[in-house]
Structure 1
Amino acid sequence: MLHVPAYITAKPGMREAVLREFRANMPDVHAEEDCIEYVPVVDLPAFGPSQTELGPDTFVVVEKWASPEALRAHAVAPHMRAYSEGTADMIETRVIHVLSPL
């Protein structure tokens, strides 16, 4: 299984617009073969001193995929291309990590 945290930083004030597009795309992603988890998460406000906050423009996509092949297919799926094109002008940066459990 692969764990993929994807840090998405929207342009200032655009996070909710990006999240609307993201949520609209979620059913297609969840229908992909070997998608285990695909959900956006944001900071829990005022959790405490141990928290490093993402900030108001960032969210993290928590993804889990059954195999590298499933993740590769996800990356080139037509609905992902459409999502990327539709949000390109709203996103400042993307940082994606592909991780494997030990």
Structure 2
Amino acid sequence: MLHVLAFITAKPGMRDAVLQEFRANMPAVHAEEGCIEYVPVIDVPTFGPFQAELGSDTFVVVEKWASTEALNAHAASAHMKAYAARTADMIETRVIHVLSPV
């Protein structure tokens, strides 16, 4: 199994618009073979002193994939290419970490 954390920072004030496009794409991703989890998350406001806040323009996509092949197919899928095209002008940065359990 692979875990993916994708840190998405929208251009100022654009996070809600990006999340709207993201949520519209979620059913197609959830239907992909090998998708175990795929969900956007944001900061819990004022959770505590140990929290490093992401900020109001950033969200994280928490993903779990059954295999490398499933993740590669996801990245190459038509619906992900379409999502990327729809959000390209709204996203400032995207940092993706692909992790494996130890």
TM bucket, shorter chain: over 0.9
Q: Look up the match of 1:70.
A: 70
**Counterpart residue identity of residue 15, structure 1:** R
TM-score norm. by structure 2 comes to 1.00
SS at match of 1:63: strand
Query: Runs in 1 of length 4+ with deviation above 4 angstroms?
Result: none
Gaps of at least 5 residues in structure 1 are none
Cα distance between partner residues in 2 of 1:68 and 1:7: 20
Cα distance between partner residues in 1 of 2:34 and 2:69: 9
Alignment size in residue pairs: 102
Deviations 1:4-42 (A, max 9, x none): 000000000000000000000000000000100000000
After TM superposition, give the deviation of residue 92 of structure 1 in Å. Answer: 0.2
Identity of aligned residues (%): 78
After TM superposition, give the deviation of residue 80 of structure 1 in Å. Answer: 0.1
Q: Look up the match of 1:82.
A: 82
Q: Look up the match of 2:98.
A: 98
After TM superposition, give the deviation of residue 86 of structure 1 in Å. Answer: 0.3
Q: Look up the match of 1:9.
A: 9
Gaps of at least 5 residues in structure 2 are none
After TM superposition, give the deviation of residue 85 of structure 1 in Å. Answer: 0.3
Cα distance between partner residues in 2 of 1:84 and 1:6: 13
Cα distance between partner residues in 2 of 1:45 and 1:56: 10
SS at match of 1:24: helix
Q: Look up the match of 2:57.
A: 57
SS at match of 1:97: strand
**Counterpart residue identity of residue 101, structure 2:** P
